[in-house]
Structure 1
């Protein structure tokens, strides 16, 4: 049941006018309608609108087309982010172009900037690049981009920028952070540093960057981080923020809190950074990874579906057939169905003595309304944490045991109509986490060590 506990915030304030934003050029409106919003936000040419497939974070896009057969060697486009980061960029893809943002930090020169590039998926060549200075005083991890018919929105914890999609020209920029933008209608939900050491969620006007409202948000409790930096999901009425032990909903138009649903964090925590929101439900996968000590008793992993109006649990379904199954992936949500992958046994990056033994895995299809199991597919490979779907195939990274501190990984594709493996690549050292499904039968990932964006076709 939802509780009355609120976000760790002390106040709400609604700001009008152009607070914190610099308008570079005025944006025009276009006609059309999609779920009550302008059709420019999601046209057929936009294969992957943003992080985890767009504002709902469902990781399911019928407009995308991944490879039908096992892809060959990846084409690469190198980016310079100035540092070796533990994070990878998450590109948006539209009309055969991937939009990727990487921050660059030089501590010696006290120089910080954000570079956004439009990379042709087929040729792995940049059509344009735009670099803007940021006010960061520390090294930043790469964030994500979001794309609409006319704009590319990108940022990090310390900066946000809107660029003209065709040219890369700056329309507006602001120092409010935009690490994982969620675009819905005429607004953009952002989370970043707002004032001094304060962080805040903010609803920005999509066309000029003006702040419509903000909610101060404490990323720390008693001096310790509150889990991973949250990523918001957005639907027509609300925004949803997933934390270590709760999912919080607030009104998209005002920032007023609607409800909070708390999870029992003593036995399981969210296995991904965002809830998947679609058709009046918010889906969260919960898991408790192994400690690798051999005496660990893990609670069975499960998927929870919440009613987005009330925050009440509609259903809960365990993943896998044993209590040892942990939900390794995000829930991918399509029309009437939820896909989630899990593995039995030690995690792929486990340091235990059994880490060289690949765990068996399972992909489960659940009915989105009832939670009933539609079908399940047993897989003899250790599956990774990101599951992406293009409507007919699900793609999930396969991660093997570490060898000399190098992880070998590959990709496993599952045919949804056939409920069977469509293809699989052989494990190769240096393959990268999946980040997006492109157009023209392509998958995209980014390598944090080699600093490149890779396209698999």
Structure 2
């Protein structure tokens, strides 16, 4: 595979109504990117078994890592990423790989013990924090020693797929595909389980001692993390369209943001589930949210970012829903696949493997 090189930035066209934005740089990244994170200094992008680290200021490649081929542990498509304590954790179908964030050198590799027939990407995920790392594949959540890759404990969900692990103090929460399991971080013992009625597809996000569960993209449920008590539930959008798949709700300050079937972002008050705003306003040509949202707070306040299949990128103020800026690319756009941000700069990855830094003008 050729080296990743910086590419000329495409000239922006007239942005949609609201503040405008411009491209700071565009660089080549992994093919068909499926994950991207940044610590403000480096942008890490993953796709098709490849992880690339780019300088956040210039787009220059710092390193690239290629997962070894062969075996159930290495699927040549989707990648999931997490960052903690100077380590980048990459999950590729059935394998968790720890990489030095500065050099890209592999520190250790953990391959799931599922059989060769278990090559589905369902349940593939990774999450990390200070002194802890969690990896899920199929129905199993692994608690991993971040220094060695040794398995501390394993938890199997009840006949489903384990997805979107989240950390909340001494609890670890994992979607079991149709609900959520809360576990003790030290032992993996089940503390409580919440199962919504019916057949569901669920994702979970955690903040402020509350677990937020998206149910079939039609409802968000807030659960008390220590006890599993339902604090509130609220419908998400009108449910008339079938666009979005469930993805993790994101929390900034006092709002939880969920992408609905109507391809809008919906912001709810975390205290009682009151709807704060729904955006973009597709009825007035405001675009759609076809990318899982990414929210970030800096010294000037919280922003939430999303994008669409026209390559457009939007930034909304979390507090008010005001659109701070929007960016529309020149002809020859590619759909935005994933987005992350830091210091009011959004980083997008498109299907063709381009990574673009977009900043407000």
TM-score by length of 2: 0.76
Q: CA deviation at 1:451?
A: 2.9
2:337 to 433, 436, 439: 433
Indicate the SS of the match to 1:317. Answer: strand
Q: CA deviation at 1:69?
A: 5.0
* Equivalent residue number for residue 337 of structure 1: 255
* Equivalent residue number for residue 442 of structure 1: 345
Structure 2 residue runs without a partner (length 5+): 1-17, 114-122
* Equivalent residue number for residue 321 of structure 2: 419
Give deviations 1:337-383, integer Å, cap 9, x for gaps. 22335465xx6xxxxxxxxxxxxx5x543221222334556713333
Q: CA deviation at 1:327?
A: 9.3
In structure 1, how many angstroms separate the alpha carbons of the residues matched to 2:136 and 2:280? 38
1:257-406 aligned at under 5 Å gives the runs 257-266=190-199, 269-270=201-202, 274-287=203-216, 301-320=218-237, 322=238, 324=240, 328=244, 330-342=248-260, 344=262, 361=264, 363-374=265-276, 379-380=281-282, 381-391=287-297, 392-399=302-309
Higher relative contact order (CA 8 A, sep 6+): 1
Task: Summarize the Cα distance change of 1:419–1:159 in structure 2 as closer, same or farther, 3 Å threshold.
Answer: closer
Task: Summarize the Cα distance change of 1:421–1:80 in structure 2 as closer, same or farther, 3 Å threshold.
Answer: closer
* Contact residue 280 and residue 289 of structure 2 kept, 8 A: no
* Equivalent residue number for residue 72 of structure 1: 22
Q: CA deviation at 1:151?
A: 1.8
In structure 1, how many angstroms separate the alpha carbons of the residues matched to 2:274 and 2:133? 35
Indicate the SS of the match to 2:79. Answer: coil
In structure 1, how many angstroms separate the alpha carbons of the residues matched to 2:337 and 2:308? 9
Task: Summarize the Cα distance change of 1:323–1:384 in structure 2 as closer, same or farther, 3 Å threshold.
Answer: closer
* Equivalent residue number for residue 187 of structure 1: 132
1:203 to 143, 157, 167: 143
Task: Summarize the Cα distance change of 1:378–1:156 in structure 2 as closer, same or farther, 3 Å threshold.
Answer: closer
Indicate the SS of the match to 2:163. Answer: coil
* Equivalent residue number for residue 124 of structure 1: 59
In structure 2, how many angstroms separate the alpha carbons of the residues matched to 1:116 and 1:209? 19
Indicate the SS of the match to 1:215. Answer: strand
Indicate the SS of the match to 2:22. Answer: coil
In structure 2, how many angstroms separate the alpha carbons of the residues matched to 1:334 and 1:73? 25
In structure 2, how many angstroms separate the alpha carbons of the residues matched to 1:374 and 1:101? 33
* Contact residue 91 and residue 100 of structure 1 kept, 8 A: yes
Task: Summarize the Cα distance change of 1:342–1:163 in structure 2 as closer, same or farther, 3 Å threshold.
Answer: closer
* Contact residue 54 and residue 60 of structure 2 kept, 8 A: yes
- When the two chains are superposed, the root-mean-square deviation of aligned CA atoms in Å is 3.2
2:39 to 89, 94, 104: 94
In structure 2, how many angstroms separate the alpha carbons of the residues matched to 1:343 and 1:115? 31
In structure 1, how many angstroms separate the alpha carbons of the residues matched to 2:224 and 2:20? 38
1:36-55 aligned at under 5 Å gives the runs none
* Contact residue 446 and residue 452 of structure 1 kept, 8 A: yes
Q: Does 1:164 align with 2:100?
A: yes
In structure 1, how many angstroms separate the alpha carbons of the residues matched to 2:192 and 2:327? 44
In structure 1, how many angstroms separate the alpha carbons of the residues matched to 2:156 and 2:183? 13
Q: CA deviation at 1:388?
A: 1.8
- Asked which structure has the greater CA Rg, the reply is 1
* Contact residue 183 and residue 190 of structure 2 kept, 8 A: yes
Judging by fraction of residues, say which structure has more strand: 2
Q: CA deviation at 1:278?
A: 1.0
In structure 2, how many angstroms separate the alpha carbons of the residues matched to 1:306 and 1:71? 38
* Equivalent residue number for residue 55 of structure 1: none
Q: Does 1:153 align with 2:82?
A: no
* Contact residue 290 and residue 308 of structure 2 kept, 8 A: yes
